[in-house]
Structure 1
């Protein structure tokens, strides 16, 4: 599939592109990358940006006296540099940009995972570019993703993206180390990520970076398993973006296993254990089955079981004492809250609960018909 045919993509930009000199933000490469992002937006492709570079951006402001700064020093650099990095990105776009700082702990927690998903959904609906980075200033080692390549893969999964584009200062994956073998050949397409592919990966020589080719292949492995095509492209070369816009592949493409919709539906249907049941009316059944709508509270008649927000639940319909399984999905509300909002319109949720995190009980992106 050509990159421009995807409806939603995640673009990861490495430190070498944000701060090519290792200190402070630069527009040297970002101007071209931003031009590519703007072209994507004009073609109605939604873009989520995962940007490294906060540590490098803040390096000149924090005294460290070492080529290998301590963790606390890097965290201080990130605290300063994050603001500069976001401001640097914003100057290239006419539309608004937003900042999301997350940790692995946020992605592991069902409630926070769902909150991130909903936030991204609203930002994209309002034509705002989400810019995501790991929350380096507060993340402890056990709660860190560790590198933005793998973070980008996880974000692509949360966001239901169709493709992941990893931009760095390397052309892609080669059949040998191009730094040591002058005639090493670029691998334009990899259909199966084997141990041999991992062995082709080298490390990184950048003391402020946390990734290398290994983490990029690791990220591609994660994303492809979830049906997300992944590309590694050299972001320092302007003609690489021309190739992408012309439906070319200037780097290495990792072919997804199935499509992301299939992978997610399979995960929802077969992996998640249902923790409760919603009885819905005929109108809700029609909306779900015929129009691909989300499940709204007005269509819910009864709630069975105790579950929290983010739990998998089953949707059923009863006609003349015959129960029919309709769907399965991820609930935006706990069973306790659903008892209070069942049967009412979405506009009445805030009055009933005092807050309204979502107008849907189950969003259509988080629902599979049975």
Structure 2
């Protein structure tokens, strides 16, 4: 609807301070069409909570996991890349150990996670294999995603699995973490994974229909939030409440996860996990649950972040041919075009790309550390493995991780 439309009984949009807001919820309306965002999504992260996976703590729900696996497999066959972030290890461990209530002691939580993780991985492997799709277990901690080298290693592994048509099944490594079990949640992990692999969409499946402006059990005037802009501060005020006795999250963790995912351009859908064919219908653009749309697509969001980096870790000087390839043709930076390296940067750092006269023409994420880059100057990509003993990527900076800054 036109943002300038007058407010009327049938109008769903109001304009405040030049921004369109939904008249019923007061939330910012996204500039991007949510249906188009969902239909165009090629890389999708799906997070499902403990209460759904374990049928409210009664043990792994084979039927539900089978239904999600069928949909995941269909998405893979459709050319999509999908990752499942699944809670449920501690809850399944509790069931197997005969514990009716979630323990408070750290060592007991870790023991439950160790027991339950066996069954959780086996269940997904069995159900996905029945659909003709391979799976891989990946256990992560927040520390893995905070350390540069571990972050890049995890990213490389996940992207390789996706390229092979395998569905990674990710859970937090509750057996070895400490404060994450008490304070962490897999909604946040889902958002971090979406950031890690630069997903288009994060789908959070929950036991609720989606987000309301208030608790509908207490406020009969509560309105359902169909669509809003991720990161709108009013969303956090609307969300609240603690998690179930099985899980640790609530609606607030999902809203915060959506804000985090939007930082890398991923939109988020919060939907009821038992909605029939929910993943397939969402992929078709059907408006199910609450869609919190990122204000910029993933490529634009990443490049916006790179251009905002004030403290570059180093630079590479390139020849005129490389400048032309980068600026005019939108190509990646190959080692053969580099003539000099400055600084002491690491793999994954943002570095500048300089022309021979010293002006910055681009910046991007380095695939190799400074010491390695110096060895690669003027060398063809085919020599990387011989010179370094390994070959992470054929490019020094891939075009998807590079933004041209020259006028």
TM-score (norm: length of structure 1): 0.90
2:345 to 280, 297, 307: 307
Matches within 5 A, 1:47-196: 47-62=82-97, 66-93=101-128, 94-141=132-179, 146-181=184-219, 184-191=222-229, 193-196=231-234
1:119-171 per-residue CA deviation (whole Å, 9 max, x = no partner) reads 22222222221222212111232798711111111111121111111111110
- Contact 1:4–1:45 (CA<8 Å) still a contact in 2? no
Shift of 1:107: 1.6
1:16 to 42, 46, 51: 51
Shift of 1:264: 1.1
Alignment root-mean-square deviation, CA: 2.5
Structure 1 residue 361 and structure 2 residue 396: aligned? yes
2:147, 2:183 → 1: CA distance? Answer: 14
1:338 to 373, 379, 398: 373
1:305, 1:143 → 2: CA distance? Answer: 39
- Contact 1:4–1:40 (CA<8 Å) still a contact in 2? no
2:267, 2:327 → 1: CA distance? Answer: 29
1:210-250 per-residue CA deviation (whole Å, 9 max, x = no partner) reads 21111011111222344321110101121544642442111
2:178, 2:332 → 1: CA distance? Answer: 37
Shift of 1:80: 2.4
Change (3 A) 1:184 1:366: same
Secondary structure at the aligned position of 2:61 is classed as: coil
Shift of 1:62: 3.8
2:172, 2:226 → 1: CA distance? Answer: 30
2:161, 2:203 → 1: CA distance? Answer: 20
Change (3 A) 1:11 1:66: closer
Change (3 A) 1:306 1:35: same
Unaligned runs of 5+ residues in structure 2 are: 1-33
1:156-209 per-residue CA deviation (whole Å, 9 max, x = no partner) reads 112111111111111001133233456744211123655543233343453331
Change (3 A) 1:66 1:124: closer
1:287, 1:92 → 2: CA distance? Answer: 47
2:100, 2:208 → 1: CA distance? Answer: 29
Shift of 1:357: 3.0
Unaligned runs of 5+ residues in structure 1 are: none
Counterpart of 1:32 in structure 2 is 67
1:133, 1:337 → 2: CA distance? Answer: 34
2:402, 2:233 → 1: CA distance? Answer: 35
Q: Which of 331-340 and 55-64 deviates more? A: 55-64
Structure 1 residue 43 and structure 2 residue 75: aligned? no
Shift of 1:21: 4.1
Secondary structure at the aligned position of 1:86 is classed as: helix
Counterpart of 1:261 in structure 2 is 299
1:258-285 per-residue CA deviation (whole Å, 9 max, x = no partner) reads 2222221111111252121112234433
Secondary structure at the aligned position of 1:304 is classed as: strand
TM-score (norm: length of structure 2): 0.82
Structure 1 residue 230 and structure 2 residue 265: aligned? no
Secondary structure at the aligned position of 1:48 is classed as: strand
Secondary structure at the aligned position of 2:60 is classed as: coil
Counterpart of 1:317 in structure 2 is 355
- Contact 2:71–2:279 (CA<8 Å) still a contact in 1? yes
Length, aligned pairs only: 367
2:176, 2:138 → 1: CA distance? Answer: 14
1:304, 1:34 → 2: CA distance? Answer: 48
